[in-house]
């Protein structure tokens, strides 16, 4: 399971003409699920994201977590995180989970984040989405389990 985590001032996700998820200060988490991932990995990664200390304290040090600042998370499924570009010019997505398994584990991740006390907004699974992200810093991390 892979997550691209961005500290943001604000973010939203739109499907068609409808905004389906929107947050202020917090984290955007682009989540990729591989065909070998399990519920345990989803819970581990959610706990890690919820506790990640990437927000600045009064001294300007990254010492605060999402929970510490009362921030929200916008979690968007992104199978392209498992795009393999090693051969040729077109990515291969054979490492990504099948949609049914990916949707279930994506749901497990979102539920685990909520279980950590984080308010979570989401995109729409398998939809073509437009993300509007105001990356703060910029701070972007890649987490993998």
DSSP state of 131: E
The catalytic site residues sit at: 78-80
DSSP state of 34: B
Give, rounded to a whole angstrom, the gap between the first and last alpha carbons of the chain.
5
Query: What is the C-alpha separation between 108 and 53, in angstroms, rounded?
Result: 22
Q: What does the chain come to in residues? A: 145
């Amino acid at each position: 399971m892979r997550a691209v985590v961005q500290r943001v001032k604000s973010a939203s996700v739109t499907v068609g003409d409808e905004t389906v998820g929107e947050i202020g200060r917090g984290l955007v988490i682009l989540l990729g699920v591989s065909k070998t991932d399990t519920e345990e990995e989803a819970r581990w990664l959610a706990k890690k994201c919820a506790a990640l200390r990437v927000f600045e304290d009064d001294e300007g040090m990254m010492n605060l977590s999402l929970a510490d600042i009362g921030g929200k998370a916008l979690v968007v499924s992104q199978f392209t995180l498992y795009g393999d570009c090693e051969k040729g010019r077109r990515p291969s997505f054979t490492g990504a989970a099948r949609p049914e398994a990916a949707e279930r584990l994506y749901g497990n991740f979102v539920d685990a984040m909520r279980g950590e006390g984080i308010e979570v907004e989401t995109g729409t699974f398998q939809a073509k989405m437009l993300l509007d992200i105001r990356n703060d810093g910029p701070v972007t991390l890649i987490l993998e389990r």
